[in-house]
Chains A and B, each alone.
Chain A
Amino acid sequence: MKFSYYPGCTLKTKAQELEKFALNSAAALGVELEEQKEWQCCGAVYPLAEDEIGTKLSSVRALAEAAQKNEKLITLCAACHHVIKRVNEDMKTKDDVKNKVNNYLQLAQDYQGEAEVIHYLEMLRDEIGFDKLAEKVTNPLTNRKIGAYYGCLLLRPAETMNFDDPENPSIIEEFIKALGATPVKYPYRTECCGGYLSLDNKELAQEMTDNIMKSALKNEVEELVTACPLCKYNLENKNGKIAISYFTELLAEALGVKE
């Protein structure tokens, strides 16, 4: 199984473990992730302005390269996935954006949304299959009560992201189960962590993460996992009663490739 792989800036700086464990695990699973040669920052935030074209170009470059190789594009960072997936949707459905982007880029061949971008978790679920993954686990995480924290970026807007039910998702719980641990569903697992509010309204962000932590604690979650660097930052900045790690770390541990 071979995929084009888009890392994104955060994975090379603050979220290095997210990538390290992902790559180790992929190797253990026999999945080849070929990092794109000239990837650029995805823009970090999906531009909502209809006429904003410049900030969409780097996503399209990544997508077009994968399309040209006829490979699916894998992402890891929830924010990058969100931006690239939504830009791809624009390229499929908005003629205006499509024309302008192609005019800018002057690619050998116009890009019209042909590539498919999938998140690493989707790769595990849909390409490998959680049942197959469970068979590859060498170090099952038995007796560990783990809660999933989803955040917003992977789930919404639901029609575009098409990742899971935005109100009642199950992909990370299924993932946790495949690794031999016990997933714990707690009510606040899809509530917003505050996102970038932690920069300019610390108090409010604190309140939001407190609610999530309280809900997890009340439901006897022992550890939390997430796929989003910003969520992890916000959640671990706080009282720290429950440790939060990247889902890939858990994966590497279960596959016995966590050094």
Chain B
Amino acid sequence: MQRIGVFVCWCGTNIAGTVDIDQVKQAAEKIPGVVNVQDYQYMCSEVGQNLIKNAIKEQKLDRVVIASCSPRMHEATFRKAAKSAGLNPYLVEIANIREQCSWVHKNKEEATEKAIALVRAAVAKATLNTELVPGEIGVEPRALEIGGGIAGIQTALDIAEAGYKVDIIEKTPSIGGKMAQIDKTFPTLDCSACILTPKMVDASTHPNINLYTYSEVEAVQGYVGNFEVTIRQKARSVNADKCTGCGICTDKCPSKKAESEFDEGLRKRGAIYIPFPQAVPNVPVIDREECLKFKTGKCGLCERVCPSGAIEFNQEDTLVTQKYGAIVVATGYDLINLDKFGEYPYTEHPDVITSLEFERLTSAAGPTAGKFLRPSNGNKPKKVVFVQCVGSRDKSSRGKTYCSKICCMYTAKHAMLIKEKYPEIEVYVFYIDVRTPGKNFDEFQRRAVEEYGVNYIKGMVGKVFPEGDKLQVHGVDALSSETLIIDADMVVLAAATKAKDDAQELGRKLSISTDANNFFTEAHPKLRPVETHSAGIYLAGACQGPKDIPETVAQSSAAAAKAIGLLNKGKLVNNPCVSQVDEQICSGCLACTKMCPYEAISSQVIEVKEQGKIVKKTVAHVNEALCQGCGGCTVTCRAGALDLKGFMNRQILAEVDAICL
């Protein structure tokens, strides 16, 4: 007969307030096999744990049942305590009489009855528990960074500095992300390129960092510590090893019709181009949709002028497969499309621009060399109107319900940048609320109003009418209820931020989830902000939600710390509660292999003795390192040949019997 100990926790009044502890104890004592029953106010406390440990030793217990909170809360705690007392931790069973009982019931009598049933079930299962020993898996000491914006760069640098190899996959031809497009940064107004470029260079020259630019994630397999990622390196049509970045090809390219992505369409670029002067790597790429050689077969001028023979028209995409211990997702964000906002004639009028276009127009490296001029006629504007919350905090189908968080600050920045250069320009800002929490943020916005005389108007713009060479802005001042008409020369729209269009697709490849707005979901909104629900995959930057640079960088270093912690372990203990095949029963139908979401089951041929003869037989085979213990296969198996260790069919049935019989 087994020697089972039952320990009933009060959890202060959390359990004891609704469940009669004494009755539970009395009932437990009557269950066959139970030799010791004790209660305590907080079983998870050190005193409580010692109580369990002593009982195991003194009473020679070989099974332990703890009636307490959810196993998600303290199963690990109690298993550890049992282990230190010399008992295999998998012989500990939890009866959840808090979340599943005392918290959800009011009637003490009924709750007590239910608690007793739950204890009985746990004892029935514990009786059948067997000793399990977890195995170990190695951790590949290399991390992958998806996305090469400031988030990806910062995380990669931190991980590389800790001594681990990091690869960055960046979709576009250069790393840098949106920060590279920004002119000056709030709240200090330091030049964005001046603080970003050195980091980009560090990333490209660090011995531990390897860049895959113009590349994408093709497929992801494996699991924490052992991801196997296939990377698609798109054909650049330029040999990066031979190219010296001299730029002759981009100068000579006769096709100059494409809109520069980096300059938000405010400037044209060639079919062979380097996205911006500080691009890393400083290697051009051929846009095959625009290139005359690809379109018509003629031209090939770049090939002729290249002094180092680096142009390779016949380059093809290449696939590289690499193993990683940890993955950090840092794919950033975008701004919404403004097609549906017809009241601001953005699509029709060149002087109505987005905030990101504004950044390019004030940048010294931008299309106007930093002179703030009207795109329509090249004249200096006299009045500029900023409209905030274009699509943010907007419940209609064309907008986003959330606050984009960065616009109040960058609009204040834009207003000051204008005033700094041209104090005579009148600047108006329409806002719903000014939201500037953050270190030195509110002071920054107030400076725009108090020192620079920017006109802040609480209210929305109803419509912008192009009138002659002016943009007549019709708005309302909600504080005075006055309708305002401003004859502006330019209108700048703070378009809402949005998740990347391919976020869901990437999420599926990585088995990580996205929220209602397609931003990646963190494992816990407060306590695990950079982890995902998939072990070994972390989040950094605006791909998790709108963020400014300070917050992005803080989160990036946090993600790096998590990744380093994982890589540093070297080995991981794996969950022994995995599936196992009874090869005698298995019919080899392999329905389980199709069901398994982790590709942990394969087939194998074994030799068995049948009626005295040795015959070959196909059976399912579980890769214990890949199995996550979900149990899906056990219910798929028609023959009942699959069973989950720690949750065997007969254990579950014993629980059911204990409750129902």
Contacts and interface: CB of A to CB of B under 8 A. Distances in A.
A165 B465 contact: no
Contacts of B83: none
Contact of B467 (A167, A187, A191): A187
A167 B343 contact: yes
Nearest to B465: A187
B342 A215 contact: no
Contacts of A159: 396-397
Nearest to B341: A167
Interface in A182-233: 187-188, 191, 215, 218
Given A159-B397, A165-B340, A188 B465 contact: yes
Most buried by B among A168, A169, A191, A215: A168
B342 A168 contact: yes
Nearest to B398: A158
B467 A168 contact: no
Contacts of B48: none
A187 B349 CA distance: 12
Interface majority SS (helix, strand, loop, mixed), chain B: loop
B281 interface: no
A47 interface: no
Nearest to A214: B467
Interface in B453-492: 463, 465-468, 472
A163 to B, nearest CB: 13
B5 interface: no
Contacts, number: 26
Interface majority SS (helix, strand, loop, mixed), chain A: loop
A166 B342 contact: yes
Given A165-B340, A168-B342, A168-B345, A215 B397 contact: no
A169 B347 CA distance: 13
Nearest to A215: B465
A165 B347 CA distance: 13
Interface string A165-182: 111110000000000000
B345 A218 contact: no
Contacts of A166: 342
Nearest to B397: A159
Contacts of A168: 342, 345, 347-348
Interface in B317-375: 340-343, 345, 347-348
A188 B348 CA distance: 15
Interface string B182-215: 0000000000000000000000000000000000
B487 to A, nearest CB: 13
A188 B472 CA distance: 11
A215 B343 CA distance: 16
A166 B342 CA distance: 8
A215 B467 CA distance: 8
Interface string B438-464: 000000000000000000000000010
Interface in A121-178: 159, 165-169
A188 B343 CA distance: 11
A165 B465 CA distance: 16
A134 to B, nearest CB: 24
Contacts of A169: 342
Nearest to A159: B397
Most buried by B among A166, A187, A215: A187
A161 to B, nearest CB: 14
B343 to A, nearest CB: 4
Contacts of B345: 168, 187
B217 to A, nearest CB: 36
B465 A167 contact: no
A247 to B, nearest CB: 21
Nearest to B346: A168
Contacts of B348: 168
A65 B280 CA distance: 68
A166 to B, nearest CB: 7
A223 B397 CA distance: 35
Nearest to B471: A187
Interface string B625-656: 00000000000000000000000000000000
B341 A187 contact: no
Most buried by B among A167, A215, A218: A167
Contacts of B397: 159
Contacts of A188: 465
A166 B463 CA distance: 12
A187 B341 CA distance: 14
B439 to A, nearest CB: 39
A158 to B, nearest CB: 8
A191 B342 CA distance: 13
B226 to A, nearest CB: 49
Interface string B375-408: 0000000000000000000001100000000000
A188 B345 CA distance: 12
A195 B534 CA distance: 59
A166 B341 CA distance: 9
A218 B466 CA distance: 11
Interface string A59-87: 00000000000000000000000000000
A167 B398 CA distance: 12
A256 B472 CA distance: 41
B467 A218 contact: yes
B466 A167 contact: no
A39 B524 CA distance: 60
A103 to B, nearest CB: 33
A187 B340 CA distance: 16
A187 B471 CA distance: 10
A87 B284 CA distance: 59
A169 to B, nearest CB: 8
A207 to B, nearest CB: 12
Contact of A165 (B342, B466, B468, B472): B342
Nearest to B464: A187
A222 B347 CA distance: 26
A118 to B, nearest CB: 21
Contacts of A165: 340, 342
A206 B396 CA distance: 32
Nearest to A166: B342
A167 B342 CA distance: 5
A156 B472 CA distance: 23
A218 B469 CA distance: 12
Nearest to A185: B348
A169 B466 CA distance: 16
A187 to B, nearest CB: 4
Interface of B: 340-343, 345, 347-348, 396-397, 463, 465-468, 472
Given A168-B342, A168-B347, A218-B467, 5 more contacts: A159-B397, A167-B342, A168-B348, A187-B466, A187-B467
6 contacts: A165-B342, A167-B343, A168-B347, A187-B465, A187-B467, A215-B467
Give the 4 A-B residue pairs with the shortest CB-CB distance, closest first. Answer: A167-B342, A168-B342, A187-B465, A167-B343
